[in-house]
Amino acid sequence: MSKASELREMNEEQLDFALQETRQGLFRLRFQAATEKLDAPSNLTKMRREIARIKTIQQERKRSAESGS
């Protein structure tokens, strides 16, 4: 799990990759939850928050690029 400050240091490619990896991880956790083999249910919440952090930073950058041009 990354902090927002760490995510802000990443470029767009790295953020896209992190988002893709986190979504895949969330999918695997949901699958484990459905088959009742999930060790820590709190990881689902952590993954969803990580995805939200990444999307928020991407949206901030998009808004700043639009207002700057």
Which domain range does residue 57 map to? Answer: 4-68
**What's the average pLDDT block by block, 10 residues per block, for the chain (69 residues)?**
86 95 95 89 94 96 88
Predicted local confidence at residue 1, as pLDDT? 63
Identify the CA nearest to 12 among candidates 45, 60, 52: 60
Predicted local confidence at residue 52, as pLDDT? 96
Count up the domains in the chain and report the number: 1
Under 8 Å between Cβ of 7 and 15: yes
Q: What's the CATH number where 9 sits?
A: 1.10.287.310
* Cβ-based neighbours of 58, under 8 Å, separated by 6 or more: 12, 15, 19
pTM above 0.95, yes or no: no
